[in-house]
Chain A
Amino acid sequence: MSYLGQQLVNGLTLGGVYALIALGYTLVYGVLQILNFAHGDVYMVGAFIGFFVMVGLGGPLKPSVPVAVMILIMFLVAMLGTGLLGIVIERFAYRPLRNSTRIAPLISALGVSILLQNAALLLFSANIRSYDTSSYISSTLGFSFADITIDGVRLFVLVLSIALMFGLARWVNGTQVGRAMRAIAYDRDAAVMMGIDVDKVIRWTFFVSAALAGAAGVMNGLLLRGVSNGMGLVPGLKGFTAAVVGGIGSIPGAMLGGLLLGVVESLAQGYLSTNFSDTITFALLIVVMLLKPNGLLGKRAIVKA
Chain B
Amino acid sequence: MLKLSNVTMEFGALRSISELDLTVNEGEIVSVIGPNGAGKTTLFNVITGIYTPTSGSVELEGKSLVGLDPARVNHAGVARTFQNVRLFLNMSVIENVMSATYGHTRAGLFASALALPKSRKEEKAVRAKAEELLSFFGSRLTGYRWDQPAYSLSYANRRRLEIARALATEPKLLLLDEPAAGMNPKETQEITQVVERLRAEKGLTILIIEHDMHVVEGVSDRVVALDHGVKIAEGNFDHVATHPDVVEAYLGRGAADRK
Task: Note all chain B residues with C-beta closer than 8 A to A303.
Answer: 45, 50-51
CB distance from A293 to the nearest CB of B (A): 15
Task: Note all chain A residues with C-beta closer than 8 A to B50.
Answer: 303, 305
Task: Note all chain A residues with C-beta closer than 8 A to B144.
Answer: none
In angstroms, Cα B50 to Cα A300, docked, is 15
The chain A residue with its CB closest to the CB of B70 is A305
Query: Interface residues of A, CB < 8 Å — how many?
Result: 4
In angstroms, Cα B44 to Cα A99, docked, is 30
Asked if B11 and A305 make an inter-chain contact with CB atoms under 8 angstroms apart, the answer reads: no
Query: Interface residues of B, CB < 8 Å — how many?
Result: 9
Q: Restricting to B111-135, which residues have a CB under 8 Å from any CB of A?
A: none
B188 at the interface (CB under 8 A from A): no
B41 at the interface (CB under 8 A from A): yes
A194 at the interface (CB under 8 A from B): no
Q: Restricting to A277-305, which residues have a CB under 8 Å from any CB of B?
A: 300, 302-303, 305
* A39-73 interface bits toward B, Cβ cutoff 8 Å, 1 = contact, 0 = none: 00000000000000000000000000000000000
Asked if A302 and B11 make an inter-chain contact with CB atoms under 8 angstroms apart, the answer reads: yes
Task: Note all chain A residues with C-beta closer than 8 A to B82.
Answer: 305
CB distance from A134 to the nearest CB of B (A): 57
The chain A residue with its CB closest to the CB of B45 is A305
CB distance from B145 to the nearest CB of A (A): 25
In angstroms, Cα B2 to Cα A207, docked, is 56
The chain B residue with its CB closest to the CB of A300 is B12
* A182-195 interface bits toward B, Cβ cutoff 8 Å, 1 = contact, 0 = none: 00000000000000
**Centre residue among A300, A302, A303, A305 by max chain B CB count within 10 A:** A305
Task: Note all chain A residues with C-beta closer than 8 A to B41.
Answer: 305
**B residues at A contact (CB < 8 Å):** 11-12, 41, 44-45, 50-51, 82, 86
11 A-B residue pairs with CB within 8 Å = A300-B12, A302-B11, A303-B45, A303-B50, A303-B51, A305-B41, A305-B44, A305-B45, A305-B50, A305-B82, A305-B86
